Amino acid sequence: MAMLREAFLVWRTSKDQRTTSLQLRLFAFFSLFILALGLALYFVMAISGVFDAGATESRVWVENELEHLTSNVSTDFGKLSLQATFLAGQLSADIDAWLEKNQMSADALQKHPEQLESLLSAQMNTLLSALKNNKCSGAYIILDATVNPEREQAADSRAGIFLKRTEPNAINLLSSKIHYLRGPASIARENGIGLLGQWQLEFDVRDADFYSTTLETARKNKHLSLSRLYYWSDRVLLTGNSESGLLLCAPLISRDATVYGICGMEVSSMLFKLEYSPENSHYPRIFSTLAPMDDGVLDTDAGLIAGNSYLTNPSAGQIAAKGDACSGLFFYRAEEEAAYIGAHGTIKLYPKGSPYQNQAWSLAVLMPAQDWYAAARGNRLLLYGVVLGLLGLSLLLAVFTSRRYIRPVVTALDRIKSESHGTIEKTKIAEIDDLLEYLAAQDEHRSALAAELEKTRRQAAVPPDEEAAAPNLSAYEAFVHNIGTLSTAERAVFNLYMKGHTAKEISELLYISINTIKTHNKRIYTKLNVTSRKELMVYVQMMGNGLGEEAQGPCMN
């Protein structure tokens, strides 16, 4: 227990003796103020959503891209649908005229395979015009007949023409290059059109759902107009071809309501990519996709993708929207566990009353989830860096300001230690100047007191060791008399001052704090009518020199 008590006393003494400079105190105050201001700024920025500005900016950017692309796709595909309807009507009328001229009927085309080349050649100008004047990559016609009915695969082979534009992004559509993908080669030579390397005489319709669906739907809905019977196929790759695309199909219907073929236009994957890729200066791996959507699942295998620098395949499989991810965008999960963030909107391809009106297509703007999070995190880190940089700069300014602010105070205190208080120049700091005036007044008071004592000593004409008995030593006698008014604790402190101890030594000897010593000092000064320790020690020295021994004797017990 004794050791613990001693340890506690040592700790308490060391704690009371610890001091802190004014500069450090001022710097600590500035630092706390700056930190408090920084925290307040952080909370304000957090509440106002500044740290989410990156995510919000990305959301707005994606939504704007989606709105822009959705508008373009809807407009362009709507125009193509209208032009396909017009093309089907014009070809049907031209074929009806040709059949009438050649005394044939639409349902008898297969009975005259030798006439199919002549019939197709007559439609060449109409197909060329449709291809040149519309934003499409190809135009075609397929008849429900074959030029070689004796072939083994005749049931899956259909005569027709497919004209392909190999530069679908050409600014001037009229000057773009056109090649021949399907049809009789003689027709291509007559029109000066080169054959593509993938050229074939006829269409293989064995797995051509676009062909069978268009024919069957038209035959089941003969009461509907052509504007209700056009059909957008899923992504199609023709047999032997190297490029896939969406085929816009419209039925060919004779005057007697016989459905004998289809015609239409193509939007290739290249054309879609060139026309509908999202702007990627901010997000290099962003892409758009137009695909059928069923129950929140995008089937990109049946659609087209644009801007897919991130994707090595022309499709991403089925991409399911999993709900709100953040900032109003959706989180998507692909079959291969790839994750995307983006948004999608509905593309209305069919008018009301169409047999296909319930087929839902959507355009989505997506990016890899890690790109989204990196962009949001990057903006946030930038803001954090700016805030921390401002805090660091503020702390440096606090160091500079505290040092500059305290310097005149320290200089004035050094002068007080080394010079007479009355001779120190004004510092232009009100508090320091007031202190100097007070100290100068105290010096004058002590000088006057010393002069009075000297005058009294001379008037008494007594030896120094008898001055305590002189009747005119009023100030000194009052001091000695007032010693008797001190309390026991104050008397103990005073006696140790008499023995020459300092305040620090007295606190250690009496096991009391330095603050308690200061309190006793204040009360001793008041009762003995002195203003400072310096004045107190003058009287103590006088008592030590033998002044007033009679008074000293009983007071020091």
pLDDT, tens digit, for every residue of 411-448? 777 766 665 555 566 666 777 777 777 777 777 777 77
**pLDDT digit string, tens, across residues 286-296:** 899 999 998 88
CB 160 within 8 A of CB 143: yes
- Is the pLDDT at 143 greater than 80? The verdict is yes
pTM: predicted TM-score of the whole model, two decimal places: 0.63
Alpha helices in 133-245 (DSSP H): 185-190, 209-220
CB 467 within 8 A of CB 541: no
Residue where the block lists tokens 């796709």: 73
- Is the pLDDT at 71 greater than 80? The verdict is yes
CA 439 to chain centre: 62
Which is more confidently placed, 175 or 143?
A: 143
Residue 471: its pLDDT value, please?
41
Query: Strand pairing partners for 366?
Result: 287, 342
Categorize the per-residue pLDDT at 380 as very low, low, confident or very high, splitting at 50, 70 and 90: low
Residue 141: its pLDDT value, please?
97
Tell me the CA distances in angstroms from 405 to 30, 306, 397, 410, 412, one per residue in order.
Answer: 12, 65, 12, 10, 12
- Is the pLDDT at 549 greater than 60? The verdict is no
Residue 179: its pLDDT value, please?
93
User: Which range is most confident: 12-21, 28-37, 114-123?
Assistant: 114-123
Which is more confidently placed, 20 or 490?
A: 490
Average pLDDT in the chain: 81
- At which of 211, 235, 269 does a domain end? 269
CA 544, 545, 548, 550 torsion: positive or negative? positive
Residues 6+ apart with CB under 8 A from 110: 144, 145, 146, 149
Segment (H or E) for 347: strand 339-347
Residues 6+ apart with CB under 8 A from 220: 355
Q: Is residue 68 part of a domain?
A: yes
- At which of 210, 244, 269 does a domain end? 269
Least confident of 286-290, 458-462, 482-486: 458-462
Residue 324: its pLDDT value, please?
62
Least confident of 117-121, 317-321, 522-526: 317-321
Q: Is residue 303 part of a domain?
A: no
Q: Is residue 120 part of a domain?
A: yes
**pLDDT digit string, tens, across residues 355-376:** 999 999 999 999 888 887 877 7
The residue range of the domain holding 142 is 56-269
Average the pLDDT over 25-32 and give the result. 72
CA dist., res. 326 & res. 343, Å (int): 11
Q: Is residue 101 part of a domain?
A: yes
Number of domains in the chain: 2
Q: What share of the chain is helix, strand, coil (3-state, %, to 5)?
A: 55, 15, 25
- Is the pLDDT at 2 greater than 60? The verdict is no
Alpha carbons within 13 A on the beta-carbon side of 122: 17
- At which of 243, 269, 295 does a domain end? 269
Q: Is residue 471 part of a domain?
A: yes
Residue 181: its pLDDT value, please?
94
28 φ/ψ sector (left φ>0, alpha ψ -120 to 50, else beta): alpha
Q: Is residue 447 part of a domain?
A: yes
CA dist., res. 402 & res. 34, Å (int): 13
Categorize the per-residue pLDDT at 312 as very low, low, confident or very high, splitting at 50, 70 and 90: very low
Categorize the per-residue pLDDT at 82 as very low, low, confident or very high, splitting at 50, 70 and 90: very high
* Eight-class DSSP state of 151: S
Average the pLDDT over 473-495 and give the result. 83
Provide the percentage of residues in the chain whose pLDDT is more than 90.
37
User: Considering only CA atoms, which of 295, 319, 304 is closest in space to residue 368?
Assistant: 319
Residue 514: its pLDDT value, please?
87
- CATH number, domain containing residue 444: 1.10.10.10
- Is the pLDDT at 234 greater than 70? The verdict is yes
Q: Is residue 108 part of a domain?
A: yes
- Is the pLDDT at 236 greater than 90? The verdict is yes
Residue 90: its pLDDT value, please?
97
Helix, strand or coil for residue 542? helix
CA dist., res. 176 & res. 392, Å (int): 62
Alpha helices in 102-149 (DSSP H): 116-122, 124-132
Q: Is residue 393 part of a domain?
A: no
Segment (H or E) for 92: helix 53-101
- Is the pLDDT at 18 greater than 60? The verdict is no
